[in-house]
Amino acid sequence: MSTRAERAHQFFLDLQDKITETVATIDGRPFQTDTWDRPAGGGGRSKVLQDGHVIEKGGVMVSFVTGEMSEAFAQQFPGRGREFMATGISLILHPRNPHAPTVHANFRYLEKGKAGDSVAWFGGGADLTPHVLYPEDARHFHQVWKDVCDRSEVASYGGLKKWCDEYFYIPHRKEARGVGGIFFDYLGIDAPELGGKAADLEHVERFVKDAGGSFLDAYVPILERRKNVNFSEAERDWQLHRRGRYVEFNLVYDRGTTFGLKTDGRVESILVSLPSPVKWTYGYEPEAGSKEAELLEVLRTPRGWVD
């Protein structure tokens, strides 16, 4: 493990503790901790909260994995060879209350190739998935990430916001998964065909640590505002149907899911992002002019939330 990988891994573990302790205090129930080993190399620590008072299902996972990719899969990434090392934190929180949005974030560091002939980069981001649209919540969430980017030498909020809107898009539904946030990948290497940007990894590392450390500032105020709002059965039904869109994206398009499954990752930790309960109904459409229809309009036409 390289020195940078060691630093990143420890940062992710510390961040996992901070996030789960904060969320557990809000919820009133602790996360279950599950430490696991990966036979092919590495392992991880998963912290999961199910059937909480505030969080219906949530997980904050940290992993450190090593090994070899298949030849076909290795060709999808920069660098030579099939050897790889990856460490990262990935989290998902599905609140019980439909007025409280789902949130996702992940930050990761990867090295590919043999020692002395490897390439390394960071990736990650955070996005918000409301079921009831509160523009002020979206503005707050985006403002935190804009502030993080503005403090960085290597990140542009406009570019990362656009990338997030394009990445968390469900083509077969022609709508976004949520109201976005920021997303980046291959930051630190010259890979324009993949969206990558050559940059000093020291600067990139500082940006990633600032972003990870800002997650609670971006989300907790929103959760606190919405966790106890009264809701109707119709709003709960809408939430369960919107969770169906979340499942569709994660199983069909999400890179993290694909990477985990194709590198013999731990299935329970990879699929903990899937919400429960969830609902699909044939031909389900919101009533014209309803707040549900208003949300769909925003998801079908991404907008700017901060100047």
pLDDT tens digits for range 6-42: 999 999 999 999 999 999 999 999 999 999 998 888 8
Q: Report whether pLDDT(74) > 80.
A: no
DSSP E strand boundaries for 2-101: 32-37, 42-50, 55-68, 83-95
- Residues 86, 108: contact at Cβ < 8 Å? yes
Rounded Cα distance between 307 and 302, Å, is 15
Residues forming the active site: 104
Hey, which residues does 84 pair with through a beta bridge?
Answer: 67, 112
User: Among all chains, which residue has been given the structure tokens 């909480």?
Assistant: 52
Q: Give this prediction's pTM.
A: 0.93
| Residue with the larger pLDDT of the pair 246 and 2 | 246
Rounded Cα distance between 64 and 38, Å, is 9
pLDDT at 198: 85
Q: Report whether pLDDT(70) > 90.
A: no
Residue 82 pLDDT class (50, 70, 90 cuts): confident
Tens-digit pLDDT profile for residues 230-254: 999 999 999 999 999 999 999 999 8
Sign for the pseudo-dihedral over CA of 296, 297, 299, 305: negative
| Residue with the larger pLDDT of the pair 81 and 298 | 298
| Domain annotation for the chain: domains and CATH numbers | 3-300 (3.40.1500.10)
- Residues 54, 97: contact at Cβ < 8 Å? yes
Dig out the tokens for 1 from the structure.
């493990």
